[in-house]
Amino acid sequence: MSPIHQTILNKKTSNPPIWIMRQAGRYLPEFRNIRKENPDFIKLCLNESLSSEITLQPLKRFKLDAAIIFSDILMIPYALDQKVEFKKNFGPILGDFDFNHSSQISEEKFFNNLKPVYNAINLVSKNELLKEKNTIGFVGAPWTLLVYTINKQSPKKNINKDFFKNDLLIKDILNLLIKFTKIHIKNQVEAGANLIQIFDSWAGLLEKSDYDKYIYNPTLELVNYVKTLKVPVICFPRGIKDYKSYCEIVKPDAVNIDYDVDPHEIKKLIKIPIQGGLDPKMLLTDKDNLKKEVNKYLEIFKDHPYIFNLGHGVLPETNPDMVEYLVNIVKDYK
């Protein structure tokens, strides 16, 4: 059993495992070399040979306990024939969402649109580097996918005030996204993913009064579905204002916390295994400061099932040597 599975399923508290959100990506020079030759991000995600190579790059450098497939949460809108492109220094730009067209897309067409992603997962899961480690598949939570589908770009700190004007259409789109997200999860697990993470990147945009409708109920549906596939599920409701209620209602196998919450409070309030928390900006400081912050999390959660990770993705300007230092601190912790 992998160290992450031991922590989640057996509630192991010693020697916390480690992986890092966005560990395969822009901070690695070997990734930048590939990216230079492949400027179209979606095409890169759909190049099974390169995406599997990118996924394994951090495993070749660092003593990590998992690989997370190099892909994107927006592959679902893409597979539903919504135009998706990534603009340098801006982020994703999506075209109009044609609900009538997308709702007619068959499961087979959806699978074929994303077949290279599943092939890449299969290649990674069979690699020798992944022996007794996890191959992580992932999806965006329905709320976050809904935001991108309708807003057509990152909302940053707020969403368009017209966002909620057509309640019926929003409900229909949300249900369609839930349906195809389940399919995407199933396809990833069948390809070899043995852990699923659900990213709700824009959970922090909502008021608590909207949580039931847009966060709790849709995400619970996904979590329950993943559990039927007999793989653990980790949820990351970034920026949510009530982690305790989230865990009690959604019931993921583990929860990733962001860096704006007090880990002492989280430990008191949450019974399930915890992942993450470290501010990615700590990797931009010096080794003494990083060690102090890493040890803080390790000490707080030393008697609680804990997977070391960040409170958001590793930043592009991060020095890989600092990532190596971080991994070694966690691996040497007793």
Contact between 64 and 23 (Cβ < 8 Å): yes
Q: How many domains in the chain?
A: 1
107: CB partners within 8 A, 6+ apart: 183
The mean of the pLDDT values for the chain is 96
Angle at 177 between CA 118 and CA 277, to 5 degrees: 75
pTM value is 0.97
Task: Please tell me the predicted confidence (pLDDT) of residue 334.
Answer: 83
Task: Please tell me the predicted confidence (pLDDT) of residue 10.
Answer: 92
Across the chain, which distance is largest between two alpha carbons, in Å? 56
Residue 21 has phi, psi (to 5 degrees) of -60, 135
Query: What would the DSSP string read from start to end of 95-164?
Result: ----HHHHTT--HHHHHHHTHHHHHHHHHHHTSGGGTTSEEEEEEE-HHHHHHHHHH-B--TT---TTTT
What range does the domain containing 146 cover?
Answer: 3-332
Give the number of residues written for the chain: 334
Confidence of residue 161 (pLDDT cuts 50, 70, 90): low
User: pLDDT tens digits, residue range 62-85?
Assistant: 999 999 999 999 999 999 999 999
User: pLDDT tens digits, residue range 294-333?
Assistant: 999 999 999 999 999 999 999 999 999 999 999 999 999 9
User: pLDDT tens digits, residue range 133-158?
Assistant: 999 999 999 999 999 999 999 987 66
Distance, in Å, from the CA atom of 297 to the CA atom of 77, rounded to the nearest integer, reads 36
Pairing relationship of beta strands 91-94 and 274-276 according to DSSP bridges: unpaired
User: pLDDT tens digits, residue range 2-18?
Assistant: 999 999 999 999 999 99
Instruction: Answer yes or no: is pLDDT of 182 > 90.
Output: yes
Task: Please tell me the predicted confidence (pLDDT) of residue 164.
Answer: 77
- Could you tell me the CATH number of the domain that includes residue 82? 3.20.20.210
Mean pLDDT of the region 265-272: 96
Query: What would the DSSP string read from start to end of 121-137?
Result: HHHHHTSGGGTTSEEEE
Contact between 7 and 273 (Cβ < 8 Å): yes
- Give, for 198, the enclosing helix (H) or strand (E): strand 195-199
Distance, in Å, from the CA atom of 221 to the CA atom of 282, rounded to the nearest integer, reads 35
User: pLDDT tens digits, residue range 25-60?
Assistant: 999 999 999 999 999 999 999 999 999 999 999 999
Distance, in Å, from the CA atom of 68 to the CA atom of 134, rounded to the nearest integer, reads 8
- Give, for 229, the enclosing helix (H) or strand (E): none
The amino acid occupying position 68 is I
Query: What would the DSSP string read from start to end of 28-90?
Result: SHHHHHHHHH---HHHHHT-HHHHHHHHHHHHHHS--SEEE-S--TTHHHHHTT--EEEETTT
